[in-house]
Chain A
Amino acid sequence: MERQVLARMGDGSLVATTRDQIRADLEEGTQAAAARGKMAPLAADELDHLLDIYASSARFTGVDIGAEVVLSKDGSGTPQLGSRIDALYACEQVLAHDTVELFHIDYSYKAVKTIVPFEQQFMKEAQERLTVPVHYGAQPDLGRYSAPDGPCGNWSELLPALKIDEARAAQEEAVALAVDDMVYVAESLWEAGADGLNFDTAGAAGDADFLATLRAVETLRARHSEMGIMVGMAAEMVLGTHGRLEYRGTRLAGLKPAGQLAVVAQAGATVFGPAVNTVTTRSVAWNSARALTFVKPCMAAATIPIHMNVGMGVGGMPMHAFAPVDAVSRASRACVDILRLDGL
């Protein structure tokens, strides 16, 4: 009888399985991505390496000494660490983060716009207390511009009513407003000393959300040649909630990580963060193989660093707010070992 191995599911639960089952999960995961993304599956030696990582009985694992990568941390800090600045300082001094990110709990550029002078004050203080890079981050969050929260028509209601033209017009109107807000907030934080800006979960509201992000990045790059700009994605495929939007001739709907990278780099970002969402009913081994398959085409094409999103519910990580270290360390190592990432 084959020896049992403990493994995690995508929801974080611990299950007993076997090495053969993990191998089958890895093969199914990479094939699932290959079929959906019309891309090559992982190679046999890559699957063998993943099998060694995921079938290990060790509680913790890590990359080889010397193979470490930069961790760019979104939303740094937690209430137990004190004030927001105290938390950033603890992340630098105690938790050894490579970068930290000042953020507001309402993680949206539109929301931050109304309190930006106070965020500037926090940024100034953070820059005086920390040595590591301090970024500012929020989400493009295009949905906030639709009724009842915003001034534009609600495309989520217009589309089911088959008011396609109205839904597209509402999104185009929202894009213009979101670009203005993102540029305003980004320049305000840059003025206060930020080392860079993070546009997190770009494309969460579809292709219009992604277009707004790209236009904001393009504007910022034209005005600030030294500004660090990171664009992290929301998903492995850009949803076509508009369907016809293009950036410099590239249709945004349906773009997968390599295509997303190309337009993000064209816009002028310095770091790209692909995201592949976790399927909670499949094992983390299945999810890891699927995520790595989606992101692999980025690596050869990249002209800027790739910091894959490997946080809650993305990149082969369980969808759980309190992630188990066995699952985190496996996903962390798997991404770096297989993809040769520039960072996470």
Chain B
Amino acid sequence: MFGMDVAHSCASGMNGLRAAGDLVARLQMAKGMRITQAKRYVADRLGVTPLDLSDNTAMHELRGELRLGRVFETESSYYADPSPLEAKWHIAELLELPINSVERFRAGLSCAGPAAPATAKDRP
């Protein structure tokens, strides 16, 4: 795992939750978007440039502000950050992209009243 996974991540990866690799990956897998198109789409939604998407120093703060979930380490305490399902709910809104687990979580809410808006633009 050290030789394969870590080396690939460091040599050419977008570094997932440390930056914005998971967001770009979602568009590729769900929509079949090529890398340039997917990076541009995510960058536009975040209000940054495609270059920023792999920059963990830029993305760590932004993910915290937008409540998209982020990594934590011993020196940090992010107890008020969203849970994974909350974070994915926000990601689905940001990208206007249905996320399977979020849709199923939403459908299972028994006392939530009216269904939550599907996208950010649907919010009052």
Q: Which residues of A contact B (CB under 8 A)?
A: 60-63, 65-73, 78, 91-99, 127-135, 190, 193-196, 226-228, 230, 269-271, 302-305, 310-312, 322-325, 328-329, 332-333, 335-336, 341-344
Contact = CB atoms under 8 A, between A and B. Distances in A.
Nearest to A89: B84
Contacts of B84: 127-131
B120 to A, nearest CB: 18
A326 to B, nearest CB: 9
Contact of A344 (B8, B31, B34): B8
A70 B21 CA distance: 6
Given A66-B50, A93-B71, A342-B34, A195 B26 contact: yes
Given A310-B8, A324-B3, A325-B3, A68 B15 contact: yes
A270 B31 contact: yes
A196 B25 CA distance: 11
Contacts of A335: 12
Nearest to B83: A128
A72 B21 CA distance: 10
Contacts of A332: 7-8, 11-12
B77 to A, nearest CB: 15
A96 B21 contact: yes
Question: Main secondary structure on chain A at its contact with chain B?
Answer: loop
Contacts of B99: 195
A332 to B, nearest CB: 4
Interface string B1-42: 111111111111111111101101110111111110010000
A230 to B, nearest CB: 7
Contacts of B6: 95, 325
> Which size class do B's interface residues fall under?
35 or more
Interface in B54-72: 54, 68-69, 71-72
A226 B34 contact: no
Contacts of A93: 17, 71-72
Nearest to B100: A193
A66 B54 contact: yes
Contacts of A73: 5
Given A96-B16, A98-B16, A60 B32 contact: no
A329 B29 contact: no
Given A99-B16, A99-B29, A342-B38, 17 more contacts: A63-B12, A70-B35, A92-B17, A92-B71, A96-B9, A96-B16, A131-B84, A133-B26, A135-B29, A195-B30, A230-B29, A305-B33, A312-B4, A323-B4, A323-B7, A332-B8, A332-B12
B28 A97 contact: no
A69 B16 contact: no
Nearest to A272: B32
B85 to A, nearest CB: 6
Contacts of A342: 28, 34-35, 38
Chain A CB within 10 Å — which of B11, B30, B87 has the most? B11
* In the complex, the 4 A-B pairs of residues with the closest C-beta atoms, listed nearest first: A228-B29, A98-B21, A193-B101, A131-B69
A287 to B, nearest CB: 16
B51 interface: yes
A193 B104 contact: yes
B10 to A, nearest CB: 6
A219 to B, nearest CB: 18
B19 to A, nearest CB: 8
Contacts of B16: 92, 96-99, 132
B12 A69 contact: yes
Interface in B82-103: 83-85, 87-88, 91, 98-101
A328 B35 contact: no
Contacts of A302: 34
A135 B22 CA distance: 12
A85 B21 CA distance: 20
